[in-house]
């Protein structure tokens, strides 16, 4: 990105003041190196977001941001329904409530190392991953309705998990306000064979080891210590979410036109929150959030089964589950006044600071865990929401490494087979149905996740707690 | 399908762009769908043995929107039927599109599918005639 167009605020924050049709500024959280490496399109897309009606605060851009469609990936923006605010399907994305959850195992690295291959094979054969895979669960229409209304809570009631898991999931595992009847027959049909599947692309399941601890006190609250083995799952609402995204992107083209909203980019299609289309999308999107929560809960159940067979002493307790493609109604302070606003986080994680009332008791003092997934073979991190994040970014932080190279370029640069053997040499077992899929997800096709989390920490968005290194990676 | 039709991919940081080029809008649309298949796997590996028909009617004459609708309809058929398509025959009549999509069920061993397509986006969306008189149809896919 050409930094001459940006006003430096401090070493981790850059600002674009409103000009022309912009209704609010753009705030980019990145150090000089990260901001220079960002595509110019990020600034352009963030500026476009600020032209939408009812925006409050700013369009906040996270350190891992890259060129998306409509919103940049790593973009956060809030809209006030009482000031003509809008909701945008593109501001949530196709993969509604895509997110990450991390489970403890109660095992140390030396218990896993000798049986890593067996564990990789067992996970790969148990958790459906990639194109053409099918879940074992097929839901009837009433069951689908119950799942869309009940999320992870529904899954636990069906025997996929433990009641105590729910405390460790945003919204306690159930997104309120979901309206299953707003989910089309097509979206339901697309989900029929996809419950409990990982998907493909950047979705994965990893067995990881805690390699570094930055805050021993917070790590203790999370129940984590050096050399502990954890399992991290990254996936979303599968076909159901994709179909809802597709349908509302189209409906909102018309809705925006009817509401007289001028769109700088068709992908920014939106509807006023106080409109029939806006409300119907909210109901459907919340149902899709529940679908994603149920999906990750079912995968958790499958992972627990695999571990129970191989390690009877293991205890896979959920540490936390975060979503990074959402729009949620939250209370935030603007000019000294609390307002109820709809916060879009597209490729950004909610990062409530210590003391936030929405946090479960166990995390009240340390803040919300923020799980950052790295690229295949690199590190992942757990941070916690920083006290300043509320003022800085409406309590938002980054979500991952962020791409720096396109899939096309990556698949031309690397060979999946070679990458797998190189990673194996480094101690990471990769299993995937597709070599090309692996090449497209090459570690170096992504930004340096270490730099991204360092900046998130330094900027005051979230504080570093632990680093995880992969041992086994199942790619969709 | 005429022999001049061709497809290509173009760069997008997070995802991938698909472009179809042909003598007519129909041919450009068919080639774009083929480019979409090529995002998932090598189209040459797919035997066009089974036909699925998709039909779309729009209220307006937005050809760009029709391309997105068409690709999303193919994505939907791929998802619910768990099929891949390697031959497309498209006809467009006013605001209506009808496409015959030929393919076969996904075979993970045979097709080695790399990635699933989530949806067609309005990003870099364009259906237009070039100065040379060819039709180009393109957009970015979310994968």
Q: Does A251 touch chain B (CB under 8 A)?
A: no
**Is the pLDDT assigned to residue A5 strictly greater than 80?**
yes
Q: Which of residues 12-51 of B touch A (CB under 8 A)?
A: 12-16, 40
Q: Is A44 on the interface with B (CB under 8 A)?
A: no
Q: Based on C-alpha coordinates, what's the Rg of chain B?
A: 14
The beta-carbon neighbor of B9 closest among A189, A266, A408 is A408
Q: Which of residues 51-70 of A touch B (CB under 8 A)?
A: 66-70
- Contacting residues of A for B12, CB less than 8 Å apart: 67, 406
DSSP per residue, A336-353? TEEEEEEEEEES-EE---
Q: Where are the beta strands (DSSP E) in chain B?
A: 6-11, 16-22, 50-57, 83-93, 96-105, 119-120, 126-129, 135-142
For residue B122, list chain A residues with Cβ-Cβ distance below 8 A: 69-70, 249, 253, 265-267, 269
Instruction: Please provide the CATH number assigned to the domain covering A3-85+96-404+446-475.
Output: 3.90.1860.10
Structural domains in chain B plus CATH codes: 6-142 (3.55.10.10)
Q: Which two tokens stand for residue A471?
A: 């041992």
* A433 shares contact with chain B (CB less than 8 Å): yes
A234 min Cα distance to partner chain B (Å): 15
Closest-CA residue to A192 (of A238, A223, A257): A238
Backbone angles phi, psi at A112, to 5 degrees: -90, -45
pLDDT tens digits, A135-172: 989 999 999 999 999 999 999 999 999 999 999 999 99
User: CB distance from A315 to chain B under 8 Å?
Assistant: no
Chain A residues touching residue B82 (CB < 8 angstroms): 132, 134, 193
Supply the residues of A annotated as catalytic: 399
Q: Out of A292-306, A333-347, A401-415, which region has the weakest mean confidence (pLDDT)?
A: A401-415
Radius of gyration of chain A (CA): 21
Percent of chain A with pLDDT over 90: 91
Other beta carbons less than 10 A from residue A111's beta carbon: 16
Q: Give residue-wise pLDDT tens across range A238-271.
A: 999 999 999 999 999 999 999 999 999 999 999 9
Residue of B nearest to A64 (CA): B14
* Cα separation values, A328 from A69, A76, A265, A269, Å: 20, 11, 23, 18
Per the CB < 8 Å rule, is B143 touching A407?
yes
Instruction: Tell me how far apart the terminal alpha carbons of chain A are, to the nearest angstrom.
Output: 32
> Counting beta carbons within 10 angstroms of the beta carbon of residue A361, is it exposed (0 to 12), middle (13 to 18) or buried (19 or more)?
exposed
Strands A337-346 and A380-385: unpaired
DSSP state of A461: S
The answer, for B72 touching chain A at a CB cutoff of 8 Å, is: yes
CA gap A103, A56 in Å, rounded: 36
What DSSP string runs through A123-190?
A: HHHHS--STT---SB---HHHHHHHHHHHHHHHHHTTSS-GGGGGGBGGGG--TT--GGGS-HHHHHH
Question: Low-confidence residues of chain B, pLDDT below 70?
Answer: 1-3
Q: Please name the residue ranges forming H helices in A50-140.
A: 109-112, 116-126
A407: confidence class by pLDDT, cuts 50, 70, 90: confident
Across the range A17-35, mean pLDDT stands at 97
Q: Does A73 touch chain B (CB under 8 A)?
A: yes
CA A366, A372, A373, A375 dihedral sign is negative
Q: Where are the domains of chain A?
A: 3-85+96-404+446-475
A433-476 pLDDT, tens digit per residue, is: 889 999 999 999 998 899 999 999 999 999 999 999 999 999 98
Structure confidence at residue A457 (pLDDT) = 98
CA distance B139 to B123: 6
Task: Return the pLDDT at B3.
Answer: 54
- Both structure tokens of A200: 């493909």
């Amino acid at each position: 990105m050409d930094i001459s167009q940006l006003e430096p605020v401090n070493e981790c924050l850059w600002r674009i003041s409103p000009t022309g049709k912009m209704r609010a500024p753009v705030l980019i959280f990145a150090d000089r190196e990260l901001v220079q490496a960002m595509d110019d399109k990020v600034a352009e897309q963030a500026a476009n977001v600020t032209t939408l009606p009812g925006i409050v605060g700013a369009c906040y851009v996270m350190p891992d941001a890259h060129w998306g469609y409509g919103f940049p990936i790593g973009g956060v923006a809030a809209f006030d329904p009482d000031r003509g605010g809008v909701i945008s399907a593109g501001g949530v994305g196709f993969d509604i409530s895509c997110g990450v959850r991390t489970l403890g195992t109660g095992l140390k690295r030396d218990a896993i190392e000798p049986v890593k291959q067996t564990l990789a094979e067992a996970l790969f054969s148990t958790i459906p991953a990639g194109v053409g895979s099918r879940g074992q669960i097929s839901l009837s229409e009433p069951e689908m309705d119950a799942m869309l209304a009940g999320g992870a809570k529904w899954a636990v009631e069906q025997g996929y998990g433990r009641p105590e898991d729910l405390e460790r999931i945003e919204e306690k595992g159930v997104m309120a306000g979901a309206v299953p009847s707003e989910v089309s027959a097509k979206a339901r049909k697309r989900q029929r064979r996809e419950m409990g599947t990982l998907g493909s692309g950047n979705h994965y399941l990893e067995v990881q080891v805690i390699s570094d601890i930055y805050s021993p006190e917070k790590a203790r609250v999370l129940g984590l210590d050096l050399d502990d083995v954890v399992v991290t799952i990254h996936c979303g609402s599968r076909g159901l979410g994709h179909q809802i995204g597709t349908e509302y992107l189209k409906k909102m083209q018309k809705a925006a036109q009817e509401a007289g909203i001028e769109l700088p980019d068709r992908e920014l299609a939106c509807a006023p929150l106080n409109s029939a289309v806006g409300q119907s999308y909210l109901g459907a999107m919340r149902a899709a959030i529940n679908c994603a929560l149920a999906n990750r809960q079912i995968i958790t159940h499958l992972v627990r089964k695999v571990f129970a067979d191989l390690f009877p002493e293991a205890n896979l307790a959920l540490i936390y589950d975060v979503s990074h493609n959402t729009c949620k109604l939250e209370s935030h302070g603007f000019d000294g006044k609390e307002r109820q606003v709809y916060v879009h986080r597209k490729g950004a994680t909610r990062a409530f600071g210590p003391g936030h009332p929405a946090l479960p008791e166990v995390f009240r003092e340390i803040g919300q865990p923020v799980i950052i997934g790295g690229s295949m073979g690199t590190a992942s991190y757990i941070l916690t929401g920083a006290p300043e994040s509320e003022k800085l970014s409406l309590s938002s932080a980054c979500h991952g490494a962020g791409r720096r190279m396109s899939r096309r370029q990556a698949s031309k640069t690397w060979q999946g087979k070679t990458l797998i053997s190189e990673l194996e040499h480094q101690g990471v077992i990769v299993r995937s149905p597709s070599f090309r899929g692996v090449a497209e997800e090459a570690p170096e096709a992504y930004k340096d996740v270490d730099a991204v989390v360092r900046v998130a920490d330094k900027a005051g968005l979230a504080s570093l707690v632990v680093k995880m290194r992969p041992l086994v990676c199942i790619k969709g | 399908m005429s022999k001049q039709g061709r497809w290509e991919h173009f760069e997008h940081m997070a995802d991938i762009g698909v472009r179809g080029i042909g003598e007519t809008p129909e041919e450009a649309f068919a080639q774009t769908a083929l480019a979409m298949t090529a995002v998932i796997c090598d189209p040459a590996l797919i035997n066009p043995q089974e036909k699925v028909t998709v039909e779309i009617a729009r209220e307006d004459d937005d050809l760009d929107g029709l391309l997105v609708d068409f690709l999303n309809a193919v994505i939907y058929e791929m998802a619910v039927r768990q099929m891949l398509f390697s031959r497309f025959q498209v006809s467009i009549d006013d605001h209506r599109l009808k496409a015959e999509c030929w393919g076969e069920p996904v075979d993970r061993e045979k097709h080695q599918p790399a990635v699933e397509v989530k949806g067609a986006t309005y990003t870099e969306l364009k259906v237009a005639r070039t100065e040379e008189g060819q039709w180009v149809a393109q957009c970015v896919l979310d994968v």
